[in-house]
Amino acid sequence: MSQTSRLTRRGFLKIGALGLGGPSLAELLRAEAQAGIRSSTKSVILIYLVGGPPHQDMFDLKPKAPAEIAGPWRPIATNVSGIEICEAFPRMAKMMDKFTIIRSLVGNQADHDAVQVFNGRDPRKPKPSGGWPQFGSVVARLQGNVEPAVPGFISLCYPCTHPPYNEPGPGFLGAALAPFRPANPGRKDLGVREISVERLADRKTLLKDMDNVRRFADARGSMHALDAFNEQAFALLTSSKVAKALDLSKEDPRVVDRYGTGDPTKFMDSNGAPRVPQSLLMARRLIEAGVRVVTLNYSKWDWHGGRNTEGRADNSIFVREAEDFPIFDNCVSALVEDLHLRGLADDCTVVVMGEFGRTPKISAQVGRDHWPQVNLALLAGGGMKAGQVIGATDRIAGEAVSRPVTFAELYATLYKNLGINVADTWVHDLEGRPQTLVEHNAQPIAELL
């Protein structure tokens, strides 16, 4: 069957990633142990703050700087002596011993481009044919699925109308290693109506859709064209594991309330991502279901000031921060707290970051512009050493003055936490050439080990 057919071979595999029963995770691990095979259950949740978060208003405040740099926020003490963060983050402050702040992330590109966030590669540098694959695709290629009914890589990212805000995709690894997307317009090409996260959680509607696809395939003899493996993948469709993970009605309502909920149809400033804290809860549930890598995008942090794209005149960066910061504090602290309470913190790494920082000086429009010189990252879990700050910036948060950290080092750490050694692991590009997983032979961040 050609790749351009309406009901493609790859399409069956993409839909089939939902799964049909199969052995439980415990049974799989037991069978693998008996066969001498080890399958890591380590995981990563990557949270992309769309548009570049203001580092000096969040985790690197400079209260002694001039007012046009410091802004109105004041730092508060945390439960780790010597570490202060924004007063709008009281929940995180009370559990800073479970976080690590990187204040000196360098090597950022200057334009809106999510690619560096999702694969650690500098988009300004030459790339192989097909482009660099994003992190989750590489992990899926190297480690596969924990169990057949659950994809190894799921993206909860909402498609943004501004293309640079979107994930870069599987690159030279090919479409087979693209993430499974519960909300993917491409499913229309498979004869399935667009399936949102909410509709995927609707078991009856999902099964009705899938029955329609099966009848569509049988009517054209498509099923007979699939080999046994692909047919099994299509049959996995009736597994409820991923659908249940995304169905928050099956979660304790108190937990749902702890994370908070937002409107998934309201894209911030029209072209950002929705402000949906429930995505973080879905990510935790997917990790529990056996997904190795979950990516999500959250809100929009590109606060230049002036009128926003919706015509609002009160688009001061500080008005927007006052809207976003408390919700962000609530859901991120809920996620990390939840991972610890459920015994998942040693195995699941959480990383939060955007594509660059913001200018030290507040603009005349009461905003902060793009600032590639330094950026921040927030880390938790993964068995890493927490309760610390790595790196420092100058008195106006404009440059890294100690321990600059690169994206390559950060990604080397994420791979290590999954059990992948970047020093002796490669993936092959379209020309068959081995490619390293990170740039410059970078090593994991020693301070986190």
Task: Quick: pLDDT tens for 176-232.
Answer: 899 988 864 433 333 333 344 455 445 455 555 555 545 554 554 444 444 433 443
SS3 155: strand
Instruction: Say yes or no to pLDDT of 30 above 80.
Output: no
Helix axes 9-16, 228-235, angle to 10 degrees: 40
Instruction: Say yes or no to pLDDT of 65 above 50.
Output: yes
432 part of a folded domain:
yes
CATH of the domain at 265: 3.40.720.10
Residues 290-326 pLDDT 10s: 999 999 999 999 988 876 555 555 678 999 999 999 9
Tokens of 39: 């399958």
Its pTM surpasses 0.85: no
307 part of a folded domain:
yes
The answer to whether 231 and 223 are in contact (CB under 8 A) is yes
| pLDDT reported for residue 95 | 98
349 part of a folded domain:
yes
260 part of a folded domain:
yes
90 part of a folded domain:
yes
Domain count along the chain: 1
345 part of a folded domain:
yes
Residue 86 main-chain phi, psi, to 5 deg: -65, 140
Structural domain containing residue 350: 39-201+240-443
